[in-house]
C-alpha cells in the first residue's frame, strides 16, 4: 500500500464531455504528478503540482488541467474528451527520491 488513493477506479465518458479525476497523496508529500498510460505503453508525464502550483508539464494540450489543494490532494480535469484520451491515468505522490503511485483510473471515451 502506497497511501495514494485515486477515484474513481473506472469511468466511461462520451466524446466531447469533461471529466475530473481525483487523487489523495501520501501524508507529508507536497508534490503530486499525473501520468497517462495508453494500453501496452509506458506512462507519459502530464504535469506536476508542488505546493498548489503547476511545476512542470509534459506534451499535453491545455484541455488537460489540474489543481492541487492545501491538503495536497489533486484533481486532473480533461475537457472536450477525445477517443484517444482513453487510457489509465496514474497519480503519483512524490518524495525527493521516489514516486508512490495510486492504483489508477481507467478512463474509456466512447
Q: Which of 105, 95, 78, 66 is nearest to 14 (CA)?
A: 78
Asked if residue 88 binds other proteins (CB under 8 A), the reply is yes
Out of 23, 94, 107, 109, name the contact with other proteins by CB under 8 A: 94
Nearer to other proteins, 33 or 86 (CB): 33
Smallest gap from residue 80 Cβ to other proteins (A): 25
The beta-strand segments (E) located in the chain are: 5-7, 10-13, 19-24, 31-37, 44-50, 53-57, 64-68, 74-78, 87-94, 99-101, 105-109
Q: Are 10 and 103 in contact (CB under 8 A)?
A: no
Under the binding rule (CB under 8 A), the answer on residue 22 touching other proteins is no
SS3 state of residue 81: coil
Among 3, 8, 16, 56, binds other proteins (CB under 8 A): 56
Q: Considering beta carbons, is residue 2 or 17 the nearer one to other proteins?
A: 2
Contact footprint for other proteins (CB under 8 A): 2, 30-31, 33, 35, 40-45, 48, 50, 55-56, 58, 88, 90, 92, 94-104, 106
Amino acid at each position: 500500500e502506497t497511501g495514494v488513493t485515486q477515484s474513481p477506479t473506472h469511468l466511461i465518458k462520451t466524446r466531447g464531455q469533461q471529466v475530473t479525476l481525483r487523487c489523495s497523496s501520501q501524508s507529508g508529500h507536497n508534490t503530486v504528478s499525473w501520468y497517462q498510460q495508453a494500453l501496452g505503453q509506458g506512462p507519459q508525464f502530464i504535469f506536476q503540482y508542488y505546493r498548489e502550483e503547476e511545476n512542470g508539464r509534459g506534451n499535453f494540450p491545455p484541455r488537460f488541467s489540474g489543481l492541487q489543494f492545501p491538503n495536497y490532494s489533486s484533481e486532473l480535469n480533461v475537457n472536450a474528451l477525445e477517443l484517444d484520451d482513453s487510457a489509465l491515468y496514474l497519480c503519483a505522490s512524490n518524495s525527493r527520491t521516489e514516486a508512490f503511485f495510486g492504483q489508477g483510473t481507467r478512463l474509456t471515451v466512447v
